[in-house]
Amino acid sequence: MLITGGDKGIGLLMAKAFLKLGSTVVIWDLTESTLQQTVDKLKPLGNIHGYCVDVADAQAVYEMAEKVKREVGTVNILINNAGVINGQHLLELDDSRISKTFMVNTISHFYTTKAFLPDMRDRNDGHIVTIASLAGIIGQPKMTDYCASKSAAIGFHEALHLVC
């Protein structure tokens, strides 16, 4: 199984839970130093691997996906969990932060799913999980970019579910 954004928050909690169930867990995150600390901390729980990758970079995702397949094996559960939140009013948001929010919270799901779904379909075995938020359904103050990106992630997953 692979969890994006796996070295803190919900991703970390899921990694711990799946390790305790005996799963081989791969976590992807952006910050190498904290990623390695997390892997070292979780090693006593089971078979865990950490890879530093920017999920907003399509080429990096595809290359790292191939590396994971070679080094760890096939991924049968993909949890699209990586996310960013700015917590600012729309007019305070820098345009680059808005784009980054969408790249990480939504567009990265396209990349990771394209990287792992073909193998799942070939084996007729696998699950794709999208971590979104109630904020993707009900708007929240100071979260226009986050709410919109999570709403798009929900739409992506609903559409994906219809064809898989």
Q: Which of 82, 6, 10 is CA-nearest to residue 37?
A: 6
The one catalytic residue in 51, 62, 111, 146 is 146
Mean pLDDT of the chain: 96
Q: Is residue 105 a part of any domain in this protein?
A: yes
Average pLDDT, integer, range 110-115: 98
What pLDDT sits at residue 19?
98
What is the pLDDT at residue 104?
98
Say if 66 falls within a structural domain. Answer: no
User: How many domains is the chain partitioned into structurally?
Assistant: 1
Residue 34 lies inside a defined structural domain of this protein? no
**Beta carbons of 153 and 106 less than 8 angstroms apart:** yes
Q: Domain of residue 125: give its range.
A: 77-164
Q: What is the pLDDT of residues 117-158, one digit of tens each?
A: 999 999 999 999 999 999 999 999 999 999 999 999 999 999
| Residue 69 domain flag | no
pLDDT score at 18: 98
Q: Phi-psi bin for 9: left (phi > 0), alpha (psi -120 to 50), beta?
A: left
pTM, rounded to two decimals = 0.95
The answer to whether residue 149 is domain-embedded is: yes
The reply to whether 121 falls in a domain is yes
pLDDT in tens, 30-66: 999 999 999 999 999 999 999 999 999 999 999 999 9
> Region 86-95: what's the mean pLDDT?
94
% of the chain at pLDDT higher than 70: 99
For residue 139, being part of any structural domain is answered with yes
Which CATH number does the domain housing residue 96 bear? Answer: 3.40.50.720
The pLDDT-based confidence of 164 (bands split at 50, 70, 90) is low
Establish whether 62 is a catalytic residue.
Answer: no
Q: Would you say residue 156 lies in a domain?
A: yes
